[in-house]
Amino acid sequence: MEKRLKIHLTGAVQGVGFRPFVYNVAKKLNLKGYVINDTYGVIIEIQGEEKNINQFLISLQTEKPPLAHIFSQEIEELPLTKFKDFEIKSSKSIGKKEVFILPDISTCEECLKELNDPKNRRYKYPFINCTNCGPRFTIIEKLPYDRPNTTMKKFKMCLECESEYNDPSNRRFHAQPNACPVCGPYITLYTSEKRLVSEKQQALKDTVALLKEGKILAIKGIGGFHLVCDASNDRTIRTLRERKKRGEKPFAVMFKDINQIKEYTEITDFEKAIILSPERPIVVVNSKEGTDLSKEIAPYLNRIGVFLPYSPLHYLLLEDFGKPLVMTSANLSDEPIVKGNEEAFEKLSIFTDYILIHNRDIKNRVDDSVVRIIDKKLFFIRRSRGYAPLPIKLPFKLDKKILGVGGHQKNTVAIAFDDKAFLSQHIGDLETVDACKNFEEIIYSLFELYDFKPDVVVSDLHPRYYSSVWAKKFAKENNIPLITLQHHYTHALSLMAENQIKDEPIFAVCWDGTGYGEDGNLWGGEFLISDYRKYERVSHFKYFKLIGGEKAVKQPKRVALSILFEIFGKNLPTIPTVKAFKEKEIELLYKTWQKGLNSPLSSSVGRLFDAVASILDIRQVLSYEGQSGMIMENFYNWSIKDYYWFEIDKSIDWEPIFIGLLEDKSNIPIKITKFINTLAHIVIETYKRYGVGLKLGLTGGVFQNKLLTEKILRLAEKENIKVLLHKKVPTNDGGLSLGQITGWG
């Protein structure tokens, strides 16, 4: 019996070899009809014997290309018609834009074999790709994902490439970035003063030679430029830090293969799997002692961020160089990663000796993703290349189109409709004019890609965040409602949404560095009972004063001094914190603290970490955000179970914890371990007081601390408490935009 079906698929079904897959399955099963891309996804019409059609439907799900992901499938039976054959039709560009835009995917094994085959016409070609790998999101200008809608449109394919592109049996069928040395992009090497050095294969050889000489290069990749240098050269890395004014913030290191990573680090099997995944994120792992890797890469830390090559150019560089390379985002402080060639010469010449560019334009700038393994699960620190802008499925359907503009630090934005939220790539801190401009560009790019016009815009409660100011102006100009949500409640909403929590409330522990509270104070040590309509702040850490406001965020000694003033008044103990100030400074700061001048109240657990770091003389001044907590992780000892005395209340008093710390005669590792253990026990005991029967959620930047999070999980397991963690978006402020689009109503 013959049958005719129309099948509409949404998801990651464009740019993954889906149409040739459908074509070949249909031909094998003797079915007739067509397949076509549209802005909604893929449309298939098939006609033939019912048993063959049923097999076709099974094959769609079980044999689809490795990068394909079907989000929804609609099937409609139609009257029989007269199809001559099965064909692949040209794409449609009319209709609602809901197709998933694929992230950029690392070079596949088949392309790597060709890259290293001297007999292949793409031997050592830095832009080799196919339907299973290569750039996607970084080159797309509009939907549908076809070559004329990408930055590859200026490269006319040669006859051989065009033959591959039009052959449904070829793995490069409709691979939009398809190219070769004859017709595609190429690399060019310049001095930082823009003097031409070499191009193509010679440029690659010269680049490797310069890196071996200890030079610093800006190298254009898939989503932007990297600053690159020899990871074993102390002098070069110190020079890079000085030029970039990066202080002690860690650099990521790229290795040529997984075996080389094993030589320098201690990795688990799960970490290995993530490092080797097609997304190729930077993975934070424990480093080995005694290697030739420079100590300048991650000062005072026992771990580094490692990753593998994900573009053909990276593979060629690492293979020829032989040793690990520092590979860090190329940007001025707090500015977005540089993506354009002229922009690179303008902004990066002060950092670099040479600049390696290519002539394939980057439409969407994208930083590398950064992840960490916590409790044998993937944990995002930065969600960007390889993952963005794939959507996150919501636990319910929205009846409006929502724009969430995120926070101020680690900013991301999100658009949402139906049951999908599309989070942007990492944008970063909105501290500079260029960063704010990039924030706006990414919002309008998402609007354009999805023909999206928001019905509601949601921002953080903080009135002076650039994202909040922009949202207020945008809402007024477009005559749409503006909703403002409290920062830590938004963290809780984000956690709920990605864990598919629907109607039930959760007990959310929301700990971070700072967030604007509804009482005007700076929250950051919060215990909330939260659902999608409201929250109750059932407990929080007792407020303390941040002497000097923003200065205290960067100077742990100010936070510690405030706590010491609270405990001892003027009669301060002789400890490292006190020694870090001159006597006159302490006198002046005491008056400032006493009068509350420029000393906002805070409940932040992130700042409590800073205070402990100062008291133990680990850090008096920070080189980068979160440094004190990161260094403290070095000292944690799982064999120590002790913790400092505390008492649970509506306002949890940190004073007995610090008195216990100051009176403790143990060494620094024991004190740090006991402090972290104390925080973990406070979470469990507060939950047992206020949250019994609810799921326990951990959210906020403090829970990037692997040891604190895992300690809480172990204690919760003993008490049979169900714990929710972030797994699809960062626990830090990079996840706020997801929370905003779920809590607007």
Q: Which amino acid is residue 332, in one-letter code?
A: L
Cα distance from N-terminal residue to C-terminal residue, the chain: 51
Torsion of CA 624, 626, 630, 635, to 10 degrees: 110
CB 652 within 8 A of CB 622: no
Dist. CA 703–CA 633, nearest whole Å: 12
| Two structure tokens written together for 274 | 């993530």
Dist. CA 105–CA 369, nearest whole Å: 12
Which ranges in 258-370 belong to alpha helices (H)? 258-264, 269-276, 312-321, 341-347
Residues 6+ apart with CB under 8 A from 693: none
CB 234 within 8 A of CB 295: yes
Torsion of CA 629, 632, 637, 642, to 10 degrees: -70
Dist. CA 214–CA 212, nearest whole Å: 5
What number of other Cβ atoms are within 10 A of residue 40's Cβ? 21
Dist. CA 699–CA 704, nearest whole Å: 9
CB 557 within 8 A of CB 620: yes
The CB-based long-range contact list for 683-689 (8 Å cut-off, 24+ gap) reads 683/509, 683/712, 683/715, 684/712, 684/715, 684/716, 684/719, 684/721, 685/646, 685/648, 686/509, 686/527, 686/539, 686/648, 686/652, 687/507, 687/509, 687/527, 687/721, 688/719, 689/539, 689/648
3-class DSSP state for residue 1?
coil
pTM of structure: 0.91
> What is the pLDDT at residue 89?
87
Dist. CA 694–CA 499, nearest whole Å: 14
Q: How many angstroms separate the Cα of 87 from the Cα of each of 33, 58, 79, 83, 347? A: 6, 20, 19, 10, 49
CB 562 within 8 A of CB 544: yes
* 165: Cα within 13 Å, side-chain hemisphere: 17
Provide φ and ψ at 408, rounded to 5°: -105, -40
Report DSSP state, residue 531. Answer: -
DSSP line for 235-249: HHHHHHHHHHT-TTP
Q: Which phi-psi region, left, alpha or beta, contains residue 529 (left: φ > 0; alpha: ψ -120 to 50)?
A: beta
Dist. CA 704–CA 626, nearest whole Å: 10
CB 609 within 8 A of CB 601: no
Q: What is the pLDDT of residues 294-352, one digit of tens each?
A: 999 999 999 999 999 999 999 999 999 999 999 999 988 788 999 999 999 999 999 99
Dist. CA 190–CA 176, nearest whole Å: 29
Which ranges in 116-257 belong to alpha helices (H)? 159-165, 200-212, 234-244
> What is the pLDDT at residue 38?
78
Q: Give the strand order in the sheet containing 402-404.
A: 391-393, 420-423, 414-417, 402-404, 456-460, 482-485
CB 510 within 8 A of CB 526: yes
Q: How many angstroms separate the Cα of 735 from the Cα of each of 248, 336, 408, 505, 560? A: 26, 18, 12, 19, 29
Q: What is the pLDDT of residues 577-618, one digit of tens each?
A: 999 999 999 999 999 999 999 999 999 999 999 999 999 999
What number of other Cβ atoms are within 10 A of residue 349's Cβ? 17
CB 143 within 8 A of CB 389: no
DSSP line for 562-601: HHHHHHHTT----SHHHHTS-HHHHHHHHHHHHHTTT--E
By CB atoms closer than 10 A (0-12, 13-18, 19+), residue 575 is middle
Check the CA dihedral 292-297-302-308 and report its sign.
negative
List the one residue out of 472, 222, 532, 482 whose CA is nearest residue 366. 222
> What is the pLDDT at residue 97?
55
List the one residue out of 355, 65, 17, 425 whose CA is nearest residue 187. 355
Torsion of CA 334, 337, 343, 345, to 10 degrees: 90
| Two structure tokens written together for 268 | 């688990």
Domains of the chain: 2-88 (3.30.70.100), 187-358 (3.90.870.10), 389-499+733-742 (3.30.420.360), 537-724 (3.30.420.40)
Dist. CA 511–CA 700, nearest whole Å: 5
List the one residue out of 264, 263, 252, 257 whose CA is nearest residue 107. 257
Residues 6+ apart with CB under 8 A from 300: 248, 631, 634
> What is the pLDDT at residue 93?
55
Residues 6+ apart with CB under 8 A from 661: 612, 615, 644, 671, 674, 675
Dist. CA 339–CA 330, nearest whole Å: 9
Give pLDDT < 50 ranges for the chain: 94
Dist. CA 331–CA 336, nearest whole Å: 6
List the one residue out of 493, 501, 599 whose CA is nearest residue 544. 599
Check the CA dihedral 508-513-516-519 and report its sign.
positive
